[in-house]
Each structure stands twice: as structure tokens, then as C-alpha cells.
Amino acid sequence: MVALEYRPGERLAGDRRHLGRGLALWLILLLAVMSLISLGSGASGVSAPAVLMNWFSGQEIAATDRVVMFDIRLPRLLTGILVGAALAVSGAIMQGLFRNPLADPGLLGVSAGASLGAISAIVLGGWLPVAMLAVVGWYLVPLAAFSGSWIAMLVLYGIATRRGRTSVVTMLLAGIAMAAMISALSGLIIYAADDTQLRDLTFWGMGSLAGSSWTKLAAAGPVMLLALIAAPGLAHGLNGLALGEAAAAHVGIRVQRVKTGAVLVTAAATGAAVAISGGIGFVGIIVPHLLRMVAGPDHRWLLVNSALLSASMLLIADMISRSIVAPAELPIGIITAVIGGPFFMWVLLSNRSVVDR
Amino acid sequence: MQTASKRLPLDLRPAFLLPAVAALTALLVAGPARPDPHPDARRIVAIGGSVTEIVYALGQQERLIARDTTSSYPAEAMELPDVGYMRALSPEGVLSVGPDLILAQEGAGPPEVIALLRDAGIPFETIGSGTDGEALIAKIQAVADTLGVPETAEAPVAALQADLERLADEPEEAARKRVLFVLTLQGGRVMAGGEGTEADAIIRMAGAENAIQGINGYKPLTDEAITAAAPDVILTMERGGGSESLNVANEELLSLPALATAPAARNGAVIRMDGLYLLGFGPRTGKAALELHDAIYGDG
């Protein structure tokens, strides 16, 4: 008879935990390389090494070169990294919380809320008091999107929580009902929109990093960063939740705290990401899946690796978006879907036996 | 919920927002109301279909190096590099063509991109828009002034004024024909041009009356509303360079139950015109309005 005895240090067949750390190192390297390529590429042909060389030696840099390097490419690079990381980490957390491979932040009403906020700002903005317009200016759409995502999330969380316990199933079902209500409201506002506003809405929905700036990054960056720093703290709890809520509680996991944490981190990360970049689809689902297939579902590495891989992928997508129709730009949401869709399909089909099990 | 526009309020209700304009100018380095002249600019990016058209009408096309997606007339303009849709510009894309002046129609954006372009030291001039004769003349003059060649505006402005004068003796209110502008026809549902649309403006300029009153913007209409509108003439756009497949067929249009009882259906009065020509509000608008007038009243 074979003894099913666990000896510490021994690796069982199928155990892929050890892959996580190695993978993380490779992904850091990949992100570093992608960042450098991203800084060095763009429609204008401004050379990153030349500009940096002049900068370090204290020489005068042409205004155009300076703006391209430090005000366009650099904030755009950082925004891309943060948005990519935030979207994938949110996706991974949601899939862990709902124990469902198709879960995404949309289940919290975050996406619908954000788009209702953006739509309201774009269409109804003109009616706002003048004094308020002067204060918030162009950041109204991001602000409204972020507030919208948080309001939707808080309402849903409130509905699903009774006597200090959050029911994931209620959240899921109420989320569907709320998404329908919110999109009806959005539809009503869209009906009142004029042609240019409709155009703005369409472009917002396809996502873009083109509007990245230091000011926007200063507003949304810390929120995403905070969420990303807090995320690994949820890893242990999410691993426990994979056993089911009751079992997780039995092994000593404070289930309610994990749920609350997961919801807050996701709403912060996704809300801020959507607010500054619009709707960039698909990375939140594809990246965590890819990594689970390669290195297993252990959240301790899954969350970190999702952030790293997704950041690199978004940088690649952004490079394509700004070079493929240069000097114009294709919205990045189109690229992530066009490339991500078939790629994901291919991964699924070639790993069919693993997925079906 | 937070609601307001990310656009500069310049293009909203001007009287209502005047204080905001002043505040924002100070706050956000917004564009000056009157553009500065740039006679030495030789590498100009034109943003906005009508601005590009005006540059050509002024004979200054040699100075253009790029255009936006909405600039599709004249045909030569299409050969210039396209820097993207005027409301979704890419900062590095615009800089990459090496411009020394960006000439944009009001509403170009997004605003943060325009702020970046200004930071890069590229003059960015905004040309106001409007849909009446005076605004159009002011627009042509503004482009000419900005290009530093005010005298070139004389000919196109004179031609436009002549066209507008010919339109000035419009028919008595009772004799005005009612025109229904059909933007699209999807599954038999008419998307019509209400008040405040370019279609409404050109119909009025042509001395006719928009059959759709009390509705703002381009909206899908119920059959009963169309029956009640009882248009004398139906106006629609010619699409896809005259390819028949994209056009709404006359028979299809006139056989709609909602339109079957309209005077337009009895007379077969359907007018088709090129979209940018009809609705672009550029230097050709006077001609377009005249042509529309003649087509409506059949006294060409």
C-alpha cells in the first residue's frame, strides 16, 4: 500500500508552486525590456538614448523632444504599467472570490457604474454650475467614472451584506440586476446625446492611453498603487476560499475580511484604471488564466505575476496602437481584444484536456 | 453623481458660460478668442473638415502637411497624412509630422492632448464654428487671418455673400416647403434631423422649413410623427462616393407606410446631396444651400 503521507520539502506530482518565483523573475525582466522599448518607440522618431544622454550631460533639449520624452511617453508608460497591473489583479481576485473562471470586476457593478459616470459627464456636463466646471475642468470624466464605479460597488456590497456577512451569490445575482438598471439609465442619457457626444462616448468605450498626463497619473496612480500593494495580502485568504467558504473558515481564514478586502481592492484598482483609460477589455480574464495554466492557481504568485505580465502585455498593445495607423492612433481596447481573443482561444484549444478536467 | 463636461466650455452656451471661459483661460491656458497670425508657418496641420476646406479655398494648401480624419474634401487633402479623428488626437502622432502650426476647428481634443501640444511649443489656434452665414464668413476670415493672408479671404467670402444674398429673398412663410432630413433608414426606422442639427440649419438657409420641430438632434422617429410632419420634400445624403448599395433607395424610402401619405411621396420629391457638402459648413455651404433651394423649389 502506498503511504499518502506528506513529508515537508517533498514535491508531489503536479505541484507547480515552485514555478511562481522563477516566473516572476522572468516577468520582471520582460517588463523592464518592454518599458525600454516603449520609451524608445513612437510616431515622432524622437530617440530616447539621445534625449537621455543630453539630459544627463545637462545640455539643452529641444522643447518637442522634451515634451515627447517626459510629458508624453513617460507618463504614458507608467499609466500603461499601472492600468495593466490593476486590471489583471482585479480579474484574478474576482475569479478567486467568485470561484469562477469567468468572473471579472464587472460583477461588482464597477464597469457599469464607471461607464454611467463617464456618460453622464460627457452628455450632461454642460449643465453643471460654472464654478464647479472651473474647478474640475477636464478631469470631470475620470472623476465621474471613478465615483460611478464606487457608488455602484458600495450599493451592491450593501445589498449583499446582512448582519456582517456578505453573500457572494446575492452579490452575483443583484449585480446582474443592477447592471441592467444602470445600462438602461445610460441608454436614456445616450438618447439625449448629440453627435459629437456620441463620438466621444464611443471612443471612451474603446479605451486609450493617449490622454495620459502627469496630472491624471498623480490623481489615479496612487489609488492603483495602493490597491496593488494591498492585493498580495489577500492571496492566502483567496487560496483558502478555493476550498469553499465553510472549509476556508475551518482552516482559520477570516472569510468576511477577505471578501471585504477583495471588493475594496478591486473597486479601487479597476475604478481608477477605467477612469483614466476608458474601457480596456479582456486583459483581466486572459492574463490570470494564462498564468494558472503555466504555474498553477496559487494566489501568492498568481497575483504578482498577473500584474507583471499584464503590464507588459498592455505596453505591447499600446505600442501597436500608436504605431499601426501612425500618425493617428487606434484605440487600445480594440488591440487587446483583436490579439487577446484569438490568442486565448488558441491557448484554450491546445490545453483542452487541462481545461475540461 | 458628478456631471459636467471635459470639453472646454467655449462650445457650450456662450452667454451662460462666459464667466467660466474667463476662469478657465486663466486656469488652463485655454486658447485666446482671436487667433494670432502666423504668416511664416509652412508646416501646418489642419484639424476639422471645414477648416481644411477653407485652407484650400484660400489657396494656401501648399502650407499643409497633415490633416485629420474628418478632412475628406477636396480629394487632394486625402493624400496628406491622417493624424486621427479630431476629438481623439494622439499627442505624439501630431508632433511626429513636425508641424509649426496647428489649425483646429472648435471642439478638437481631447483637452489634455491639446495642452501637451502647447507645451511642446507648437502654436495651436482654434477656429470658432457656427451654422449661419455670418459665422461662416467669420470662420473663413479667421482662417485667413491666422494664416497671415487676410486678403485671400476676399474672393471666397464674396462668393459666399453673393450666394447668401440670392437666398435672402426667401419665400413667404406660408409658401415655404417642409423638408424632412433622413440621416439613415435602418430596418424601416427613420433617423431624422431635428432642431439644432446641421441639417436643420442648411434647410433654413435654403429658404425652407424643417418638417421636424420640437425634437433636438438626430433622433429615430415613430411612424406617426413622420406622418404628422407631412414633408413636401425628403432630403438625404449620398454616401460611399455614389455607390448605390449604401444609399437609401427612393422606392424603399417612399414606400414606407409613414411616408406614403406625405406630399413628398406623391411628387417623388427626394433630394440627395453629398454629406460633407451639405452639412460641412465650409466655404461651399453657400453653393450647397443654393443648390438645395433650387432642388426644393425646382426653379433652378
Interval B171-176 mean pLDDT: 76
Q: What is the DSSP letter of A12?
A: P
Decide which of B115, B143, B163 is a domain's last residue.
B163
Does some domain include residue B224? Answer: yes
A199 grid coordinates:
463620438
Does some domain include residue B2? Answer: no
Q: What is the pLDDT of residue B65?
A: 96
Does some domain include residue B21? Answer: no
- Mean pLDDT is lowest, of A127-141, A303-317, B134-148, for A127-141
Closest to A90 measured CA to CA, from A77, A107, A78:
A107
- In this complex, is the C-beta atom of A3 within 8 Å of any C-beta atom belonging to chain B? no
* Same domain (yes/no): B242, B217: yes
Asked if B89 and B111 touch (Cβ cutoff 8 Å), the reply is no
Question: Which of A39, A46, A66, A67 has the highest number of chain B CBs within 10 A, making it the mutation to test binding with B?
Answer: A67
Q: Is A275 exposed, middle or buried (0-12, 13-18, 19+ CB in 10 A)?
A: buried
Asked if B289 and B202 touch (Cβ cutoff 8 Å), the reply is yes
Distance from CA of A269 to the nearest CA of B (A): 20
Question: What pLDDT band is residue A55 in, cutting at 50, 70 and 90?
Answer: confident
| A-proximal residues of B, 16-55, CB under 8 Å | 16-17, 19-20, 23-24, 27-28
Does some domain include residue B92? Answer: yes
pLDDT of B67-93, one tens digit each?
999 998 899 999 999 999 998 898 999
Q: Residue B105: phi, psi to the nearest 5?
A: -75, 150
Domain count, chain B: 2
* Same domain (yes/no): B114, B192: no
Test B84 with A133 for CB contact under 8 angstroms. no
Q: What is the pLDDT of residue A246?
A: 92
Single-letter amino acid, residue A229: I
- Render the burial of B139-157: b for 16+ CB within 10 Å, e for the rest: bbbbbbbbbbbbebbeebb
pLDDT of A16-52, one tens digit each?
777 888 899 999 999 999 999 999 888 887 888 888 8
* Same domain (yes/no): B196, B214: yes
Closest to B126 measured CA to CA, from B13, B32, B6, B14:
B32
Question: Which of A46, A72, A213 has the highest number of chain B CBs within 10 A, making it the mutation to test binding with B?
Answer: A72
Does some domain include residue B44? Answer: yes
- In this complex, is the C-beta atom of A90 within 8 Å of any C-beta atom belonging to chain B? no
Contacts of B6 in chain A (CB under 8 A): 121-122, 125, 137-141
Does some domain include residue B168? Answer: no
Interval A94-114 mean pLDDT: 88
Does some domain include residue B269? Answer: yes
Q: What is the pTM of this model?
A: 0.83
Here the CATH number for the domain that contains residue B262 is: 3.40.50.1980
- Give the range of the structural domain holding residue B244, as residue numbers without chain letter: 173-297
Q: Given the DSSP bridges, would you call strands A165-166 and A161-162 parallel, antiparallel or unpaired?
A: antiparallel
Test B4 with A140 for CB contact under 8 angstroms. yes
Asked if A271 and A145 touch (Cβ cutoff 8 Å), the reply is yes
Does some domain include residue B23? Answer: no
Instruction: Name the residue facing A200 among B17, B87, B115 (closest C-beta).
Output: B87
A89 grid coordinates:
489583479
Contacts of A213 in chain B (CB under 8 A): 112, 115-116
Closest CA in chain A for residue B24:
A134
Bridge partners of residue B103, in order along the sequence: B46, B125
Q: Give me the residue spans of the domains in chain A.
A: 19-356
Q: What is the pLDDT of residue B26?
A: 44
Q: What is the mean pLDDT of chain A?
A: 88
* Same domain (yes/no): B202, B274: yes
Q: What is the DSSP letter of B240?
A: G
Is the pLDDT at A128 greater than 60, yes or no? yes
CATH of A19-356, one of 1.10.3470.10, 3.40.50.12160, 1.10.3720.10, 3.40.50.1000: 1.10.3470.10
* Same domain (yes/no): B135, B189: no
* Same domain (yes/no): B220, B268: yes
* Same domain (yes/no): B35, B158: yes
Asked if B119 and A67 touch (Cβ cutoff 8 Å), the reply is yes
Q: What is the DSSP letter of B59?
A: T
Q: What is the DSSP letter of B82?
A: B
Decide which of B112, B133, B163 is a domain's last residue.
B163
Decide which of B112, B139, B163 is a domain's last residue.
B163
Percent of chain B having pLDDT more than 70?
Answer: 84
Instruction: Name the residue facing A64 among B66, B88, B120 (closest C-beta).
Output: B120
